[in-house]
């Protein structure tokens, strides 16, 4: 661990708390009594099978969904933009260049668009139209957008989804750098190897509930597992060869 990391970890404080969070879509319960604590300067990964409620949890933490029950509390410092958000499939107006896109967002909250592009490695694509960007570059642009105004909390919904291994790794590196700078980063992911490598804290979600939580090392130790994948394997209920669908009970 580098010195800066050690400093940021020591200074970390709770910036976001959810208490007994429940969420439902109609009669389908998507989240059930989820309580999580997010600290500054840490990268928290939310893992779980498809349909386990990851996106709903992240949207609720970002303040985009009002919980049916429970509450989300922002405890971080005063900021013009408290929480940054990267949607699962970020998309921008195709007629604009990457720089113009960030210039628009930085007109809403003061920041330097060129510096933001440099941070995610898109400086050389500044003049390229969004419609001409690859999926990975679009996601990196989304990552830059999520950090506009230097929000104390950044929520990333599957930042590496659908990307090649190099791009996937790059998104985690950027998230890790943000955490090192003191930002509380929460991201969902299916890439357990990258989560194990970069995350400080892991929340395992299944069927809308938190089934386990801790650092990757703590989780492995608690389950006598050698990798996060093994932890995932023993903590997640697998009905059979069918996809788990929330709201549908097994007979």
Partner 1 sequence: MSNKIQAIAAREVVSVIRARSTLALLMGVVLVTFGIVFVSNAEPDYLPTAVDLLLPMEFLVPAVAVALGYRTIISDSTRGELDVLATYPLSVSRYIIGVFIGRAIALTVLLTVPLVIIGIYLATTSPDAPTFLATHQGVDSPLIFVRFIGLTVIFGLVVLAMTIAASALASTQRSALVLGLVVLALVVIGLDLLILRGVAGGTVADGWLTTVLSVSPTSAYRGLVFETVLSTAVQTDLQQASPIMSTVGLLLWLIGSLAVATVAVSRR
Q: Does 28 bind partner 1 (CB under 8 A)?
A: no
Distance CA 205, CA 44 (A): 13
Distance CA 43, CA 19 (A): 20
Q: Does 59 bind partner 1 (CB under 8 A)?
A: yes
CA 171 to chain centre: 11
Strands 184-188 and 153-156: parallel
The residues that bridge with 205 in the sheet, in sequence order, are 210
By beta-carbon proximity to partner 1, the closer residue of 47 and 62 is 62
Residue 78 beta carbon to partner 1: minimum distance, rounded to whole angstroms: 12
Stretch that binds partner 1, among 46-54, 89-97, 172-180, 231-239 (CB under 8 A): 89-97
Q: Does 105 bind partner 1 (CB under 8 A)?
A: yes
Q: What are phi and psi of 130, to 5 degrees?
A: -55, -35
Distance CA 130, CA 94 (A): 5
Distance CA 159, CA 168 (A): 8
Q: Does 145 bind partner 1 (CB under 8 A)?
A: yes
Q: Does 63 bind partner 1 (CB under 8 A)?
A: yes
Residue 62 beta carbon to partner 1: minimum distance, rounded to whole angstroms: 6
Stretch that binds partner 1, among 43-51, 103-111, 165-173, 214-222 (CB under 8 A): 103-111
Q: Which residues make up the interface to partner 1 (CB under 8 A)?
A: 59, 62-64, 80-81, 83-85, 87-93, 95-96, 100, 104-105, 107-109, 145, 148-149, 151
């Amino acid at each position: 661990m580098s010195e800066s990391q050690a400093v940021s970890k020591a200074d970390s404080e709770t910036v976001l708390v959810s208490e007994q969070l429940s969420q439902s879509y109609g009669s389908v319960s998507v989240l059930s009594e989820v309580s999580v604590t997010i600290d500054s300067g840490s990268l928290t990964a939310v893992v779980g099978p498809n349909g386990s409620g990851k996106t709903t949890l992240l949207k609720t933490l970002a303040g985009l969904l009002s919980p049916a029950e429970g509450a989300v509390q922002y405890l971080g410092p005063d900021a013009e933009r408290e929480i940054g958000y990267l949607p699962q499939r970020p998309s921008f107006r195709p007629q604009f260049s990457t720089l113009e896109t960030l210039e628009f967002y930085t007109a809403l909250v003061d920041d330097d668009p060129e510096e933001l592009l440099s941070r995610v490695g898109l400086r050389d694509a500044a003049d390229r139209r969004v419609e001409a960007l690859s999926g990975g570059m679009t996601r990196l642009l989304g990552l830059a957008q999520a950090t506009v105004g230097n929000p104390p909390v950044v929520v990333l919904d599957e930042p590496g989804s659908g990307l090649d291994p190099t791009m996937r790794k790059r998104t985690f590196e950027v998230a890790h750098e943000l955490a090192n700078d003191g930002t509380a980063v929460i991201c969902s992911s299916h890439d357990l190897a990258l989560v194990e490598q970069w995350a400080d804290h892991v929340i395992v979600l299944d069927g809308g509930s938190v089934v386990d939580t801790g650092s990757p090392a703590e989780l492995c130790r608690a389950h006598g597992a050698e990798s996060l994948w093994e932890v995932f394997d023993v903590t997640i209920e697998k009905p059979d060869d069918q996809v788990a669908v929330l709201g549908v009970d097994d007979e």
